[in-house]
Structures are given as structure tokens and as C-alpha cells.
Structure 1
Amino acid sequence: MKHLTILVPDAQVSLNTFTCIIGAYDIFKRANEFWKENGKEQLFKIQLAGVSEKTEINNGLLTLKPETNISSIKETDLVIIPAISHDFNQPEKGNIQLIDWIEKQYKNGAEVASMCSGALILASTRLLDGKSCSIHWNTADKLKRLFPKVIVKTDRLITDEHGIYTNGGGYSFLNLILYLIEKYYDRETAIYCSKIYQIEIDRQRQSEFTIFKGQKAHGDDIIEKAQVYIEENFQEKISMEELSQKLAVGRRNFDRRFIKATGNTPVEYLQRVKIESAKKAFETTRKNINEVMFEVGYADEKAFREIFKKITGMSPLEYKKKYNKKAMSEY
């Protein structure tokens, strides 16, 4: 029998932490039961493990008690790290012990999976250095700032690299659980669990859920002025050459600083601002594709469709159908 450790952080917890722990425990337990019903032995012994006797949120509104201390688990096959609070800047209290234990278990052959902001705990082990990592789009900038060696994949729902798994955010941790169940059990069990818990199987991207907010906590005043200018004038034709001159910065240096500060080239940043405005128009108005396209500053329908799909993973019409049922009912 394999061993699954679901970690219970000692500090820096949120309601999402509890949700991830309970969801993972429940679904893996059901997968075990499905195997037993079909004449197989349960695959995993599942344990909640931490370093404290209990973890609380909201002054004891909810309390979770680990079954065992991590010190009693000498060997495990799979470690799951739940989401943590988004105000994380460095590990606190007993989470430092968790980090050391995770690193040791991985080096001993265990695989490790993080859910949403749990990637911040995983990245603290340095096991993610040079590896791909998915995280909630709203926490991606923090991950990039705190751990610049991690390759952040904001469009990917799940990453799988060298026995390390990560996933996007919110309740997409359920998709990661199904992914792990298919990998460890089989496809049949994953489909069964997806039907029991009504989780959409085989989701690959989180792009359509992203709300683009330009990273401005970088300390480069010139680039922040450029961002503000782009955001206020994106409907117009913006020349990056002229913008760099306006800010008294050479074009090559402007591009270099812009990428360093925001993670995007100036042109990519402009595209993302335009598409974010288009998304809001599709969600909230009855405007058709061409009206929105012209409104955000595109004249070429093919280019607009290609860039929209590249950023969101969906065509403009698909996006409008999904997020504005009322407008589509009038077609």
C-alpha cells in the first residue's frame, strides 16, 4: 500500500487551506473505496500530518487536527500541500519545519503536489527552481517576485514536472486531484470520481478566468508611468518608440526595463490591456464582436480573434456565449 500525506500548515492558513485539505481527503478516500468495490485493495493509506496539535482560522471558527506529526512519517509516496493565505512573504512558525520535511521526502523519492498558493510553500523548498509552476493568476506576481527562479505558467491549470505537480487557483484544486487519481489509480477511477463529485475532467487552462491587472509593485517609476499611459490610451494607436521618447528612455532600455518590471514586453502589455477591456465588454454589454473590436483599438478582425484566443484560450464568440447568456439569447 502506498502512503499519501496531506499536510496541515501550522500558520498562514485561510478558509481555502481547509477546503483543499478536506476536498483532497474526501476524494482520495472515495477512490480507495471504488477500488475495493471492484475487488482491488485500497491504493493509499491517507494521513493528515502537521507539526501542531491543531490549526485554527477566524479565532477558532474552524479547527483542524492533524492525525499525526510529520516526524512520525519517515517515508511517504505523495505529499499534498494545500493553499495558504495570500499575505505570505516567507514561511512562519511550524511551516518552516514543513518545508524541511517536504524537501527531505522529495529527495527520498516522494512526489509533491501543491494547490494554488500552496506553491509558495513548495517554492520555499527551492525544489521549484528552474521548473514550471501554475498558481492562481492573482498570486502569480508575488510568486515571481519572491522566487524569480521559478518558471510561472499563469495560463496552465496543472503542471507536472519531475514528480512535482502544481495547479492554478480557487477550486481548480479539484482538477489536480482528478489528475493525480488518474495517474496513481487509473482513468476509470478518475472518471468515476469526476461523476460522483461533478468535476469537469481534463481541464487544461485557466486563461479564461484571468483578470489582468498590470504588475505595478516593481519600483520603476518610469515604467509605471508607461503602464498608466497605456491603460488610459489603449484605444488609440500607441507607438512604443514615441512613448519611450516621451519618457526620455532609449527604446532598447525601455523594452528591457518594461519586461523586467511587468513580465511582458510593452506590446504584449498593450495587447493584454485591450483584451481585458474586450472581455468586460463581452460580459456586460450587448455589443457584437466587431463593435468591441473597434472599441478597444483593433481594425483587423483576424488579428483581434487570434490575440483574444492566445490570451484567453477561447474565441471572442465562445467567450461571449459563456459569460453573457442574456446577450446571446437575443441573437
Structure 2
Amino acid sequence: MKHISILIPHDAVMASIVDPRIIFTGVNDFLAAAGKPPAFKVQLVGLTKEVELHNGTFTVHADALIGDVKKTDLIMVPAIGGDLRAAIKKNEGFTPWIIDQFHQGAEVASLCIGAFLLAATGLLNGKECSSHWLSANEFREMFPEVTLVDGRIVTEQQGLYSSGGASSYWNLLLHLVEKHAGREMAIMAAKVYALEIDRKTQSPFIMFNGQKKHEDEPIKQAQEFIESNVTERISVEELAVKYAIGKRHFIRRFKKATNNTPIEYIQRVKIEAAKKQLENSRKNVNEVMYDVGYSDVKAFRTVFRKITGLSPIEYRNKYNKEAVEV
């Protein structure tokens, strides 16, 4: 039987504590109904016996304190909210215990923005990680030694797991159920809780918001120029000349400041503009393509799918119920 420790951090998102407990105890119920022994022992583990969440709106009772748990198999790190730096500080008491348990063989899984707490342990240094796309820029700023993977729902490396944003953590939970209780139980859980199993990407949900929390003023001006000229074809050479910076140096400075190359940034800005038109207008794909400065249908569709995980038509059909199929 696998011992699962669901942490109760200060400033935790309530659902990301409750949902793992629901799915793992639910699998035990499925097994019991089939006359089989339980797969999991599930405990809520805290720094204190009672943890207030959401400014005291909820109080969660811990089954055990971290000092009581000498050995566990899987640690679940829930999402946190509010000021993330302050939340990490409040929860630093978990850090040595998580590290010790990991070195004893425990796996560790973060849900959504719980990736910040996992990254704060240092265990993710040199590894890949998933988190909510909305906090990506802040994550990269705080943890430059961790490779944040945009769009991926589940990341698994050497016993460390992380998930994409919000409800996509259910896919990590299903992944863990399948690993520790089998595919049959994962499918059962997906059906009972009405979840889409094997969803791989959160790319269709990402809204691009260029990283501007930096002090490189010419690069910031270049970003604003790109965003103000979506319909134009803009080259890297043109931008470098415009801001009087050598091309290679411009590319390096742009990448350092924004976490994107200039070409990637131009593409993301154009595709974000295209997404908004596909969501809110009745224009066909070719009209949208021309509106954001593309003339090559194949190139537009290739870049669109690379960034969103969907074709332009699939994206429009997903988000625009008023669209007329053409």
C-alpha cells in the first residue's frame, strides 16, 4: 500500500488539498467494491494540527504533523495563492522534510502553482517543470535554474512531478493513479469524476502576455513596437537597426529580457491577436491570417498549431459558438 502525504501549506488553494484526497480515497473505494485491498493510505500532513485558509474562511485539520511521518511514498504539494514569495517563506518548514523524504525514496508531485513550493526546495534545479501559464514569468524570475515547460500538462523527471494550471492537475492525479494502481483504476476514476484522460497540453488555454518586468528600455520599446504593429511584417534586422543595436547582441538581450527570441515574440503576439479574432469575430481563417500579417497559409497554420496545440479552425470551433464553418 502506497503512503500518500498531502501537505497543507499556509495560503494553499483549498481544492488542491481536497481533490487529491478525493481521487486517491475514491480509488480505494473502487477497489473495495471489487473485493480488493486498498492501494493507498492517505494523510493530510501539516506544520500545525489546524491550518486556516482563505483568511480564516476554512480550517483544515491535519491527520499528522510532518515530524510524525517518518517515511512516505508520495508527497502532494498543493497550489498556493497570494504573494508567492511570502507563501514560500511561511511554508519553509516543509522544505527540509520534503528533501529528506525525497532522498529516502519518496516521489514528490506539485499541483499548479504548488510548483513554486517544490522549486524552493532546490530539487527541481536542472530539471523541467510545469505550472500555471499565468505565473510563468514570475516562476522563471524566481527559479532560473529550473526549466519551465510552457503548455505541458504533466512533467515527470526522476521521481518529481508537476502539473499545468488550475483543473489540469486532475490529469497529473490520473497519471499517478495509473502508475500506482493501474490503467483500469485510472480509467474508472476518469469516468466517475468526468475527467478527460491523457490530456497532454494546456496550450489552448494560454494567453500570451509578454514579459516586461525588466530594465532593458530599448528591448521594452521593441516589445511595444511589435505589439502595436501586429499587421506588419517585422524582421529582426529592422528592430536591431531601429534601436541601434547589433543584430546578434539585440537577439541575446531580447532573449534575456523576455525569455523569448525576437522571432518567437513576434509569432506569439501575432497568434494571440489571431486567437482573439477567432474567438470573437465571424471572419474566416484566411481573413484572420491576413489581419495579423501572414500571407502563407501553411506557415500561419504551422505556427498557430505550434503555439496553441490546435489548428486555427479547431481553435475557432472550440471557443466561438457563433462562428460559421467555412
Q: Within 5 A, what are the aligned runs for 1:102-117? A: 102-117=98-113
TM-score by length of 1: 0.96
The yes-or-no answer on 1:57 pairing with 2:53 is yes
Alignment correspondent of 1:7 = 7
- Runs of 5+ unmatched residues, structure 1: none
Aligned with residue 212 of structure 2, among 211, 216, 225: 216
- Runs of 5+ unmatched residues, structure 2: none
Alignment correspondent of 2:94 = 98
TM-score by length of 2: 0.97
Structure 1 runs (4+) deviating above 3 angstroms are none
1-side partners of 2:135 and 2:174: how far apart?
Answer: 23
Instruction: Give how far 1:53 is off.
Output: 2.4
Tell me, what secondary structure is at the counterpart of 1:92? helix
Instruction: Give how far 1:175 is off.
Output: 1.1
Contact 1:136 1:168 in 2 (8 A): yes
Instruction: Give how far 1:86 is off.
Output: 4.7
Q: CA RMSD in A?
A: 1.1
The yes-or-no answer on 1:262 pairing with 2:261 is no
Task: For residues 102-139 of structure 1, give each alpha carbon's deviation from its aligned partner in whole angstroms, at most 9, with x where no partner exists.
Answer: 11100100000000110000001110011110111011
Instruction: Give how far 1:246 is off.
Output: 1.6
Contact 2:11 2:54 in 1 (8 A): no
Task: For residues 5-49 of structure 1, give each alpha carbon's deviation from its aligned partner in whole angstroms, at most 9, with x where no partner exists.
Answer: 00000x233xxx210110110111010111122222101110000
1-side partners of 2:11 and 2:255: how far apart?
Answer: 31
Alignment correspondent of 2:20 = 24
Instruction: Give how far 1:59 is off.
Output: 3.0
Q: Within 5 A, what are the aligned runs for 1:1-331? A: 1-9=1-9, 11-13=10-12, 17-89=13-85, 91-93=88-90, 95-328=91-324
Task: For residues 157-206 of structure 1, give each alpha carbon's deviation from its aligned partner in whole angstroms, at most 9, with x where no partner exists.
Answer: 10011011100011111111111000100111011111111011000001
Instruction: Give how far 1:143 is off.
Output: 1.1
Work out the percentage of aligned pairs sharing the same amino acid. 49
2-side partners of 1:56 and 1:227: how far apart?
Answer: 42
Tell me, what secondary structure is at the counterpart of 1:271? helix
Task: Count the aligned residue pairs.
Answer: 325
Per mean C-alpha deviation after superposition, the further-off stretch among 39-48 and 282-291 is: 39-48
Instruction: Give how far 1:4 is off.
Output: 0.4
